[in-house]
Amino acid sequence: MSSFAAINKTMSDTIFSKIIRREIPADIVYEDEQAIAIKDINPQAPTHILVIPKKPIPRLSEATESDRDLLGHLLLTVQRVAEQAGLSNGYRVVINNGADGGQTVDHIHFHILGDRQMKWPPG
């Protein structure tokens, strides 16, 4: 078990931490020491992938200065995963924050939505 997964076991018990620990299955499309990317089980676009840090941060509003490098890594991971998914015509990246922001899992994650024209405003 990686150090992030071990931390996850003690600090958080969300569906994402269970996926990271391989306690429940997921369609994993990318993984490194700090992050995992999975296909969303309720896709809102033809391509809908979630990029999730292995370190449990409940929401963006709770990230701290010490999370700076991890958050940068996650954005670069979004870029890498979108490229691997063939989203050369563009894609949308969404971070929901809190109940009013539509966040349903208290573990920060980035939605990559693509393979269709996005509308504005979004919500």
What residues act catalytically? Answer: 109
Torsion of CA 71, 76, 78, 83, to 10 degrees: 180
List beta partners, residue 49: 39, 112
Kindly write down the DSSP assignment for every residue of 3-66, as one continuous string.
Answer: HHHHHHHHH--SHHHHHHTTSS---EEEE-SSEEEEE-SS-SSSEEEEEEESS----GGG--GG
Paired tokens of 43: 């896709």
